[in-house]
Amino acid sequence: MTNPFTSLKRVLIFGWKNFSREIGLSLVSIFVLVVTISLITSLFLIRGLSEEAISEVEDKADMTIDFEGIVSEERIMELEGEISEKFDIDKTDYISREEAKERFVESFGDRPVVMEALDEVGNPFPASLNIKAGDPDTYRAISEFANDSYPELIYGIDFYGRQAVVEGIFSITETLRSAGIIVSSLLALIAVLLVFNTVKLAIYGMKEEIRVMGLVGSSSMFIQGSFVTQGVITGIVSALLSFIVFLVALMLVPYTYMEVNVYKHLLESMPFVLIMQLSVGVILGVVSSVVAARKYLG
């Protein structure tokens, strides 16, 4: 009766010997795997960063409703209540005429000419309501609702002024998201196929050995076991090398990009990246080894 631990120990030793003695082939496989893992890692990180940049841009979008000078605060609060009820609103900020003037004075108090002009005209600032919606797509609807329901209150809605820009940004970010998914998937697929073919070629070179192992009385599991071990070792070495590539890249990237703290983002992603790289490396190494070796076991 075969002792499973003895068999396991031997399979692991054979796998290690295959790896170390066929070092030329192993290095080729490692190189291709490192390229693949690094590519998948960068696709993942770039996606994460662009998501963050997109959210950053989306966060900046808001709308301001300016009210006629004679409108009472109660009416404005009434409109604010209705908007909050009807739409998904993150935050509203009411600025009274007095507050608006105070803010202006805070900003331009050190310019006597401006202050003199202000004294002459009194308080030209309208009361306003600043709205930040949960879903940036709702600004147009909010604006239409305010104009239709409370036309007598509205002096102007600032959303229209920035409408083209905001909608343009949303359209670009949506396109970027879809294109990113398609391009990433395609690149990942090409990389995976490249790994499969490299490992397949490496094992093709051993097809006669696989046949002889079978003729000597080795079970398929025993033969495949050594290739699985080889795949695991190749995967782990490749993942660790890819992680080093990632660390080097971390030192080279700009600290911030499009107001996103790239360094912080990458640093926070480190444990996940290592786990992801190990998983990708080991899974690709094992699956491609098993699939390629299986072909010659029949």
Task: Between 234 and 242, name the residue whose CB sits nearer to another protein.
Answer: 234
The span from the CA of 212 to the CA of 4, in Å, is: 23
Q: Which helix (H) or strand (E) holds 92?
A: strand 89-95
Look up tokens 């920035």; give the residue.
162
Q: Which helix (H) or strand (E) holds 119?
A: helix 112-121
Among 14-22, 106-114, 125-133, 178-186, the segment contacting another protein (CB under 8 A): 14-22
Among 210-218, 231-239, 261-269, 286-294, the segment contacting another protein (CB under 8 A): 210-218
Task: Between 216 and 252, name the residue whose CB sits nearer to another protein.
Answer: 216
Q: How far out from the chain centre does Cα 234 lie?
A: 28
Among 61-69, 110-118, 213-221, 249-257, the segment contacting another protein (CB under 8 A): 213-221
What is the closest distance, in whole angstroms, from the C-beta atom of residue 200 to another protein in the complex? 18
- Asked whether position 23 contacts another protein by CB under 8 A, the answer is no
- Which of 72, 178, 219, 256 touches another protein (CB under 8 A)? 219
The dihedral over CA atoms of 237, 242, 247, 248, expressed in degrees to the nearest 10, equals: 110
Task: Between 4 and 112, name the residue whose CB sits nearer to another protein.
Answer: 4
DSSP assignment of 181-242:
HHHHHHHHHHHHHHHHHHHHHHHHTTHHHHHHHHHHT--HHHHHHHHHHHHHHHHHHHHHHH
Judged by CB under 8 A, the number of residues near another protein is 24
The single-letter DSSP state of residue 296 is T
Q: Are 146 and 76 in contact (CB under 8 A)?
A: no
The span from the CA of 188 to the CA of 35, in Å, is: 11
Q: Are 202 and 25 in contact (CB under 8 A)?
A: yes
Among 57-65, 75-83, 202-210, 238-246, the segment contacting another protein (CB under 8 A): 202-210
Q: For residue 285, what are the CA distances in angstroms to 26, 187, 218, 232, 257?
A: 11, 18, 22, 6, 35
Among 59-67, 208-216, 242-250, 269-277, the segment contacting another protein (CB under 8 A): 208-216
What is the closest distance, in whole angstroms, from the C-beta atom of residue 221 to another protein in the complex? 9
What is the closest distance, in whole angstroms, from the C-beta atom of residue 205 to another protein in the complex? 10
- Which of 16, 170, 222, 263 touches another protein (CB under 8 A)? 222
- Which of 59, 90, 98, 208 touches another protein (CB under 8 A)? 208
Task: Between 156 and 214, name the residue whose CB sits nearer to another protein.
Answer: 214
- Asked whether position 111 contacts another protein by CB under 8 A, the answer is no
Residue (of 226, 225, 240, 249) closest to 274 by Cα position: 240
**Footprint of another protein on this chain (CB under 8 A)?**
1-3, 6-7, 10, 17-18, 21-22, 206, 208-209, 212-220, 222, 298
